[in-house]
Chain A
Amino acid sequence: MKNKSAVAAIAALSALIAWGLHFVFTRFPTMPLAASEQAAHVDSAWNGLLIVEGAIYALVMGYLIYCVYAFRAKKREEQGQKFDRSRGRFVEVAWLAVSVALTLSLAALGSHELRALISDPTADIDIEVRASQFSWEFYYPQTKTFGDKLYMEKGKRHRIILTSKDVIHAFWVPEFRLKQDAVPGKAIPLILTPTKVGEYTLLCNQLCGRDHYDMRAIVSVLEHEEFEKNMKAEF
């Protein structure tokens, strides 16, 4: 049967592509260091998508490459084969069913992680992060101190309360994943739980004018004692 060998060839091509993707994705990790609890949720959603989409990509590309190779005309006069209507109808319905199922399961996976990210508004430490063209200011209302960096304590839940004095800015630390705009006239909370001690960079991620490119600050995640010492030392 000709169809059988076609299916085998497509499967082989797809497997080859999938193996290539796997090789690249393991050699070059697709996400940077994960340094917050929230990052784990984002990465789990991401990895789910990566697997499903990698498979879809491999199958479709395998099929396309096979078709272009196997069905090219040797002479211009050759004509393709018309399809059988009832079989065509079956393929259409099957395709729709599979794509509806896939889409809904991806949406379910996404909703699940989204819920994990936004369902719990409680926090141990509040930090007011005030953005303005083109700098960041950090205020700790519980201890009434300002920070020259964004100090955070490892393992504690921080409520970052974002405000802006002029235009829209955005708070983004790639290692923490979550991103949130700072909007004039609003105070927007963002919960982050750093899990790894170290220094990171806070980047403004919303075009805010001339020096937007340089609107950064240092984020310093400390152990409990260090953090406490720092809070006292500020004033």
Chain B
Amino acid sequence: MTEFFASLTAGVLVFVAGYGGLQGPLGRQAACVLAYLAALLVFLCVVGGAKAMRAYAQGREPEEKHGIARYFSFDVDHKVVGVQYTVAAVVIFLVGGTLALIMRLELARHGLQFLMPDQYVTVMSLHGITMVVVALIATAGGLGNFIVPLQIGARDMAFPRLNALSFWLLPPAVILLLSSPFLGGLDFGWTAIAPLSTQGTTIGKQLFLLAFVTAGFSSIFGGVNFVATVLTMRAPGMGWRRVPIFTWSIVAAAIIQIMGTSVVAASLIMVTFDRVLHTTFFNSDLGGNVLLYQHLFWYYSHPAVYIMILPAFGAILEILPVYARKPLFAYKLVAGALLTITALSFIVWAHHMFTSGMWMLLKLPFMVNTELISIPTGVVFLAVMGTLWKAKLRLDSPMLWALAMVANFLIGGLTGIPLADAPTDLHLHDTWFIVAHFHFTIMGGAVFGFFAGFHHWFPKMTGRRLNEALAKTQCALMFVGFNAVFIPLFWLGNHGMRRHVADFPAWMDPVQTFASLAALVVGSSAIVFSYNVFISLRGGEAAGENPWEALTLEWKTPSPPPHGNFKTPPVVAGEPYDYGASA
């Protein structure tokens, strides 16, 4: 743990010294970028990267810490990295949630209450980007890192050091994001649309861009690792038709991480160039192209929503058969559907740009392509519905979360179609209809899916069981509260409520006040959750190897699994979802 705090201190010192020293000769923006790069390098070395590389060069096993300290160190065990990601996601989720409550407080009435309009935008941008990080890392990074190697019977990930690096790039990114409001704020939302993002000279904006790029590298490294691991390290007997659906979903998401993230990083680096080196990529007066930014940004950021939702699909599809006590319906078709979504996700980006002024006729192909995604998404619903038919449902907490996710995502998916449909999107774009829609998909889908997986695998990760009554209470509170917040907001969006603004006409007051009160219910669910995790870690019932009587490999080893995962390397002899009685 000393290394962790030492690395933080060193990083901050290097940044302050570098920025102070370079600011005179180079100007603020360039000084900020260079100082950050140096600080990042120092941070990664001190936190343990240097030691790990030295051990690797000398052919030694990396030294292992014990107890809590492990989780604050550059540890290469995938289980440690999985827990690090999960805890980080939960902590960032609580921060982002607090920011959401601050916004809802401001939005409780028309007029400005306690936030200046630009402060509202800063809080909104921070809430947006922190929650995007949560949705990107919680299931794919947290549960994925812990569960996927176990599920395919591997000892670890293919590149354990890269795995640790991919996690340790996140803390600097998050620290940067959270400090940006104090260094000049960000008034450009979490999407940093140029040329608004190339304006202004505060370093808060520059730090935001750097944080985004840093998180991007983390995501690329994670993606490469998952694909390599699943390609090469499956247990004997695990042909592609026996790969559990959660692992399939992580592979699908990882492909997007590899193929998309570099493009968004490029667009942000181009903005940085415009700011620092005064290039003119996005300056139309000097021959730049303003729309180019949006094309590059959405080329990644649309597929990115599938990095969030595919693992959540995987988690609930993994969970349903276990608690329905019967095989996953249409397993092969749905695995194919996940990969189809991955492929299609790269040819739909300009549905975010129907109003942007791009060439008019492009609206048509992007509309049709986007609507095609509803076909593989429908297959996911088919698998869910088929699995429930003539099941014997055990309504344990993970199952409740999974069912709640399905109910939410049904609304999220259906409300996406009017946004894909160009004529209606011309009205709905950038209103609260879209805000409600993406909360139904990201929060209702990805976050509920994460909680489903979290409750399912918590016993495996910690060796202890969560308190069921509290878990069900949390699920009920969050489901009811969440729906109550966002359903009325669809309607408000249609009637003229713009996105990104702190003020609105007085007639909207009743609906807005209601949504703000309902947000408190969601907030209370987070308190129940934190309390449950706290008491369960201290005194929860011992979980045993397989508390849910599941068949996949992660349940065939002690909880938590020992170093190296399995005492004897597992061999796969059957299908992953062979539950139930024959008819």
Contact = CB atoms under 8 A, between A and B. Distances in A.
Interface string A34-72: 000000011001100100010011001101100110011
Interface string B486-516: 0000010011101111110000000000000
Contact of A183 (B117, B199, B291, B431): B291
Nearest to A75: B392
B193 interface: yes
Nearest to A39: B427
Contacts of B411: 57
A185 B290 contact: yes
A82 B577 CA distance: 10
Interface in A123-166: 162, 166
Interface stretch (B24-32, B163-171, B207-215, B413-421): B413-421
B422 A32 contact: no
B50 interface: no
A7 B187 CA distance: 54
A60 B423 CA distance: 26
A184 B390 CA distance: 59
Contact of B414 (A46, A57, A78, A168): A57
A95 B290 CA distance: 43
A84 B390 CA distance: 12
Given A81-B583, A168-B196, A60 B326 contact: no
A218 interface: no
A97 to B, nearest CB: 10
A47 to B, nearest CB: 10
Given A92-B333, A96-B375, A82 B582 contact: yes
B498 A203 contact: yes
A64 B381 CA distance: 10
B291 A210 contact: no
A209 B118 CA distance: 7
Contacts, number: 243
Given A53-B417, A71-B390, A183-B356, A82 B327 contact: yes
A120 interface: no
A90 B410 CA distance: 24
A201 B389 CA distance: 51
A52 B351 CA distance: 21
A203 B121 CA distance: 17
A88 B355 contact: no
Nearest to B198: A167
A179 B388 contact: no
The size bracket of the interface on A is 35 or more
A41 B385 CA distance: 35
Contact of B502 (A41, A201, A213): A213
Interface in B91-133: 117-118, 120-121
The size bracket of the interface on B is 35 or more
A114 B496 contact: no
Contacts of B196: 167-168, 207-209
A207 B500 contact: yes
A78 B356 CA distance: 56
A113 B117 contact: no
A32 B391 CA distance: 45
Nearest to B356: A181
A196 interface: no
A117 interface: yes
Contacts of A179: 355, 426-427, 429-430
B444 to A, nearest CB: 14
A80 to B, nearest CB: 3
Contacts of B195: 166-168, 184
Interface in B337-366: 355-357, 360, 363-364
Contact of A80 (B364, B391, B423, B426): B391
A88 B429 CA distance: 40
Contact of B386 (A42, A91, A168, A209): A91
A71 B391 contact: yes
Contacts of B177: none
Contacts of A114: 363-364, 367, 422-423
Interface in A162-211: 162, 166-168, 170, 172, 174, 177-181, 183-186, 188, 201, 203, 205-211
B330 interface: yes
A204 B371 CA distance: 28
B410 A83 contact: no
A168 B197 CA distance: 11
28 contacts: A49-B417, A61-B410, A67-B391, A68-B403, A72-B393, A72-B395, A73-B392, A78-B392, A80-B326, A80-B390, A80-B580, A81-B326, A81-B391, A82-B582, A82-B583, A88-B330, A91-B386, A92-B330, A95-B378, A170-B355, A181-B356, A183-B357, A206-B430, A208-B196, A210-B187, A212-B121, A212-B500, A213-B501
Interface of B: 117-118, 120-121, 187-189, 193, 195-196, 199, 284-285, 290-291, 324-327, 329-330, 333, 355-357, 360, 363-364, 367-368, 371-372, 374-375, 378-379, 381-382, 385-386, 388-395, 403, 406-407, 410-411, 414, 417-418, 421-424, 426-427, 429-431, 491, 494-496, 498-503, 579-583
